[in-house]
Copies of this chain bind each other. A is one copy, B any other.
Amino acid sequence: MSGIVFYIDPSDEVPVYRQLMDQIRLHVTTGELSPNDELPSTRALSTELGVNPMTVSKAYSLLERDGMVTRRPGRPHVIASTSTAQVAQDRDTLLRASLEPAARLARQLDMNPAEALALFEHMLANGDDKSPRRHTQDTER
């Protein structure tokens, strides 16, 4: 059975269908979901989350496009047998994509690479705590 639980925040700026995709991908990387595991039906999950089945369907469809899940007409989706490979490749691709804007910014600002790396290293280590010594002023957006 799939006792997977999803948490979504409708008020988040990240659209629901993407929150879902992210969580499913994450569950695969952590091994909570394995190849051939069934995903919740669109209706069941949509009810649980309080959204429309199409929203769930959209997430599933996009994941299928990425080769992460497999579609079976009339039957629930399952985690693709190739998902593991997908994830491995994704880890790199995803991180690179995520890092790209930062790298561009750093270069644009002509920052010292060592300094930038040090900052990133620090953030990797203790991600939750606020910062080393810096007043963070912003009520940004």
CA distance A123 to B95 in the complex (A): 11
- Min Cβ gap A114→B in Å is 9
Known: A30-B110, A99-B102, A102-B102. A93 touches B123 (CB 8 A): no
For this chain, the copies found in one complex come to 2
Known: A134-B93, A136-B93. A99 touches B120 (CB 8 A): yes
Q: Which residues of B contact A101 (CB under 8 A)?
A: 98
- Min Cβ gap A30→B in Å is 7
CA distance A105 to B119 in the complex (A): 16
- Min Cβ gap A92→B in Å is 6
Q: Which residues of B contact A29 (CB under 8 A)?
A: 109-110
> For chain A residues 88-104, which have a beta carbon within 8 Å of chain B?
89, 91-104
Interface residue? A117 (CB, 8 A): yes
**Contact-residue bracket for chain A:** 35 or more
Q: Which residues of B contact A98 (CB under 8 A)?
A: 101-102, 105
CA distance A91 to B96 in the complex (A): 21
Q: Which residues of B contact A137 (CB under 8 A)?
A: 89
CA distance A67 to B109 in the complex (A): 18
Known: A95-B116, A119-B96. A127 touches B104 (CB 8 A): yes
Can you list the 4 inter-chain pairs with the closest CB atoms, starting with the nearest?
A: A103-B123, A98-B102, A113-B124, A99-B102
